Amino acid sequence: MRSPKDFFRPLAVGAPEPVREVPFRPSRMIHFFDPGNPRMAAKVPGLVPDVDVLLGNLEDGVPADRKEAARDGLVGIARGTDFGETQLWTRINSLDSPWALDDLRTLVTEIGDTLDVIMVPKVEGAEDIHYLDRLVAQLEAKARVARPILLHAILETPRGVANVEEIAGASPRMQGISLGPADLAASRRMKTTRVGGGHPGYLVREDPGADGVAGARAVFQQDLWHYTIARMVDACAAHGILPYYGPFGDIQDTVACEDQFRNAFLLGCVGAWSLHPVQIGIAKKVFSPSPADVAWARRAIAAMGDGTGAVMLDGKMQDDATVKQCRVVVELAEALAARDPELRAAYAAGGEGAE
């Protein structure tokens, strides 16, 4: 067991001090691109003003014979782009692949000062994070990286889900966790063939009415991902790190994508992946509290004075617990608005009909 007092000591001589809190930076959408694809790479500078996070993907989706081109492409993009306030992340290859070690060595030593977060696929337990923690510290020390690079785990194996709490708390480097519904479905032997989203077969049916079991009965589709997201949110919140919905693969179905993102937002997630530019706007809308909700939350906070006791507002009871919920909404809104003048104006104008 590591003593708690050693937890915040660098794991290599000369590596930067670990962070004590995950710094709040907007990350409503983690926009994936293939850095080895020159057409996509050329679009990166144009995307910078529109996205919170740009992620150079080296793992699934990049063919085996283009892994090195993707890695080298990311180094070039990181060196040649002004990212401003936008974060640069990467998704490295999985730890059991032949590429992960070279991904880490190249990226940390060559662009360690530009890279904010390393996303790690198929994390199974705290041991994967411990391995990375030390290795990244050694590489940071070697390259004299000034601030620690954070780690983000993808939850996409049954063992990872079983160990999600220990993964979340494995290192001060842990920034967050994303649901990886495609790999998770495969490794759990779920009988779906999609990337995220619901399934029409996963439903509950209304009880029989007067016409018996053959009569018309409403069906209600259920959310395949509810259990996993809820578990992930609790693990992240308990350890002060951030939970995310992962990918939604049906690019055409912007309506269902928005629904899935919103469910995740309401349950506590702060963002989702965008796999296509059409999903950037969806994530920005969903993961920014609505002006109406912010206006309501501000009203409730003002009405509650020192935050204790109870008041009625439009027939709804407010007390210490509702004021805490309202503060979550207002704090998120203010943190996002601090970097987004449009959002700031929308929140200043308020909104109608919140709850």
Site for Mg ion in 217-236 (CB under 5 A): none
Taking CB under 6 A as the rule, which mask of x and - marks residues 184-223 in contact with ligand GLV? -----------x----------------------------
Site for ligand GLV in 294-353 (CB under 6 A): none
Question: Which two tokens mark 109?
Answer: 């030593």
- Under the binding rule (CB under 5 A), the answer on residue 160 touching Mg ion is no
- Exactly one of 180, 181, 197, 198 binds Mg ion (CB under 5 A); that residue is 180
Sequential DSSP letters for 193-225: -SSSS--TTSEEEPPPBTTBTTS---EEE--TT
Phi, psi of 292 (to 5 degrees): -65, -40
* 246, interface contact from Mg ion, ligand GLV, none, CB < 5-8 Å by kind: ligand GLV
Provide the CB-side half-sphere exposure for 290 (13 A, CA): 13
Taking CB under 6 A as the rule, which mask of x and - marks residues 22-61 in contact with ligand GLV? --------------------------------------x-
Nearer to Mg ion, 124 or 293 (CB): 124
The region of 126-134, 172-180, 185-193, 222-230 touching Mg ion under the rule CB under 5 A is 172-180
Put the strands of the sheet holding 53-57 in their side by side order. Answer: 242-244, 174-179, 150-155, 117-120, 87-91, 53-57, 29-33, 272-274
Give the C-alpha separation, 120 to 160, whole Å: 12
Nearer to Mg ion, 16 or 249 (CB): 249
Query: Helical H runs in the chain?
Result: 38-47, 67-80, 100-111, 126-143, 158-162, 164-168, 181-188, 226-239, 254-267, 278-286, 291-303, 320-337, 341-349
The region of 92-100, 174-182, 264-272, 292-300 touching ligand GLV under the rule CB under 6 A is 174-182
Task: Read off the amino acid at residue 32.
Answer: F
Taking CB under 6 A as the rule, which mask of x and - marks residues 99-128 in contact with ligand GLV? ----------------------x-------
Give the C-alpha separation, 14 to 200, whole Å: 54
Task: Name which of 236, 291, 294 is nearest 268 in CA terms.
Answer: 236
The region of 6-14, 108-116, 175-183, 302-310 touching ligand GLV under the rule CB under 6 A is 175-183
- Under the binding rule (CB under 6 A), the answer on residue 160 touching ligand GLV is no
- Exactly one of 139, 182, 235, 270 binds ligand GLV (CB under 6 A); that residue is 182
Site for Mg ion in 73-132 (CB under 5 A): none
289 and 343 Cβ atoms separated by less than 8 Å: no
Binding site for ligand GLV (CB under 6 A): 60, 121, 154, 156, 180-183, 195, 246-247
